[in-house]
Structure 1
């Protein structure tokens, strides 16, 4: 708990324009979930904490105008993050309401750790900075309580997911491949696509390599003699981040030792050799991926059902007053002593 709380300590809370007069009252209700009111102070604290995390990670890339930058069509980064924050907070309230369904409660040690962490936050930040982020002990403690409940409830819900995954369900094969890229970089490191004529030459080279590779048992050695780089990957018929779907399907149809034709994709041409029809290590990793996805799907299914019945309403006029452009928040990230209590 204390380790996690180190990330809550706000350092400096540099103001780009004053919050005075913005009209946000901590006691106002920003949303209602199944009859429970979410105070604006709690929502503001969670929003500012999330804002700080995003700014520490992305401000150097997106600049001072990151929150007004479009993240997706018609939605700025501020809108995207604020939507996520409020939805997550609503879900936390739903999880709290259903604790009895899963026989979940907070231990005395957990409650003490939460109170101690909230007090530590209050001690480490001055009054002005706390006011800017609604950092009263009341809201810090409430947020930490909800976050702890969320973790315990998430574990309980995910425990209901089917974690039995067979080798056939997760089966992964292995390949070696050469990519003949149709992209290059300019002097500034910016990716550029080759001309049509250049692409035609790349394709011809890939087709010639594919024909030669089919005539030898040493795919890697043959590639190296041609000056090409060989990569390795596990795969199934669906493709992945490292293996495009078109290549995966072509390789999946081959026996061990088989070599594909020249396979065209958006980023270039591939030629691959199937080196194994069963990659044990990759299959075990795939099982864990499947299990993780099943757990997430189970959690999403339960939350979705609760949200439908949760009678959730948002006071947009209140939530609108939390403006990421009027306050720059930074995180103090010095290490703190890790607690060994059950709240970890």
Structure 2
């Protein structure tokens, strides 16, 4: 079993271990993607695609291997019928397409990389190469030019996304993102858990007790104190003022909230197949939730714009070439090094992601951090829930 070491901030040090058979060397110059963009034809190399995929894999390995084991990449983790490796590779291709399009449309926003940005990218690439041993770099397909190209694409994406969102913000009014927040307690009448862990319906007497508790809360002089006295669970919910539909909260609750002034408590609200609600309007205009809503609307606008850009090009992936990218090497954190070495690394080690974000922040006012990895862009939804500290009723 071969072990190599990879250093990269945000996941500190990695080791490429568990090297399986059948791992052939890739030709980085092979064409992975062909793009017809108007009268121009561009390409993306296998070298860039392989590095982006293996770098993404290395980050997932740091957090998932300990839970799912070394065979996780061949497993169907989501129940979609695809392996985790294939889903990750699909995400990488989507990221590359969006990064390519952002760079292609950079001129629309008068964006180009400054000498300072280019220098920062070059230095980050050099450092990434110097910080990692030959075997690790070979497993990731990392060369200085490939890492530079990867960082350039990410930098363009960050800059263009930020500029496009600022442009979209001009059409977003305060009313569009006016969020109200209420606290609520649900006295659940659907069922109860027994000592053996099974679930059974409540009795009529138990339902009456729930209703009485809800009434006591609705009529209490001190809402929070009564919640505590009842040992109930208080939760928080934000919604768009005046909304006519809600994907998470029953509209009977939203309608009741609309009739309340800040600080007021509702009467008992009975919701079929749920129970009795009592709510308190905490903030008529929740500025934090409203800011999050604005950010969400900006992101929606950018996503719509990105979709239109995708429709305007022909993006063709060579599946046979992409199939050559296999996660046959796993990346794990190596054992801790001597203290003096750790201290040195702590003061000098920087991640390629942080370099990209810093580059954007230094040259673009109020630049927004964007990462294409996830899976999960975590944009605040129109409606948000937060659970506060209390005991369940």
TM-score, with length taken from structure 2:
0.72
Which runs of 5 or more residues in structure 1 are unaligned? Answer: none
**Aligned match of 2:253 in 248, 254, 277?**
248
**Aligned match of 1:76 in 78, 83, 86?**
83
The Cα RMSD (Å) is 3.3
Distance in structure 1 (CA, Å) of the matches to 2:258 and 2:203? 27
**Aligned match of 2:211 in 207, 211, 214?**
207
Greater Cα shift, 80-89 or 164-173:
164-173
Greater Cα shift, 26-35 or 129-138:
26-35
Count of residue pairs brought into register by the alignment:
326
Alpha-carbon shift at residue 335 of structure 1 (Å):
4.2
Give the structure 2 partner of residue 120 of structure 1: 127
Distance in structure 2 (CA, Å) of the matches to 1:101 and 1:336? 39
SS state at 2:182 partner:
strand
Alignment of 1:307-322 (within 5 A): 307-322=310-325
Contact kept, 8 Å, 2:19 with 2:330, in 1: the verdict is yes
TM-score, with length taken from structure 1:
0.81
Distance in structure 1 (CA, Å) of the matches to 2:267 and 2:54? 54
- CA pair 99-250 structure 1, distance change in 2 beyond 3 A: closer
Contact kept, 8 Å, 1:9 with 1:125, in 2: the verdict is no
Give the structure 2 partner of residue 259 of structure 1: 267
Alignment of 1:230-245 (within 5 A): 230-236=233-239, 244-245=249-250
- CA pair 45-251 structure 1, distance change in 2 beyond 3 A: same
1:172 has 2:176 as partner: no
Q: Deviations over 1:66-115 (max 9, x none)?
A: 22332142222222211110111122122222222221111111111111
Alpha-carbon shift at residue 125 of structure 1 (Å):
1.4
Distance in structure 1 (CA, Å) of the matches to 2:315 and 2:49? 15
Q: Deviations over 1:294-338 (max 9, x none)?
A: 2212221222112112111000111112122x1102468964557
- CA pair 38-9 structure 1, distance change in 2 beyond 3 A: farther
- CA pair 136-171 structure 1, distance change in 2 beyond 3 A: closer
Give the structure 1 partner of residue 377 of structure 2: none
Distance in structure 1 (CA, Å) of the matches to 2:222 and 2:68? 47
- CA pair 247-82 structure 1, distance change in 2 beyond 3 A: farther
Distance in structure 1 (CA, Å) of the matches to 2:278 and 2:115? 59
Distance in structure 1 (CA, Å) of the matches to 2:70 and 2:205? 44
Distance in structure 2 (CA, Å) of the matches to 1:133 and 1:199? 61
Alpha-carbon shift at residue 40 of structure 1 (Å):
0.8
SS state at 2:9 partner:
helix
Contact kept, 8 Å, 1:206 with 1:271, in 2: the verdict is no
1:295 has 2:301 as partner: no
- CA pair 294-222 structure 1, distance change in 2 beyond 3 A: closer
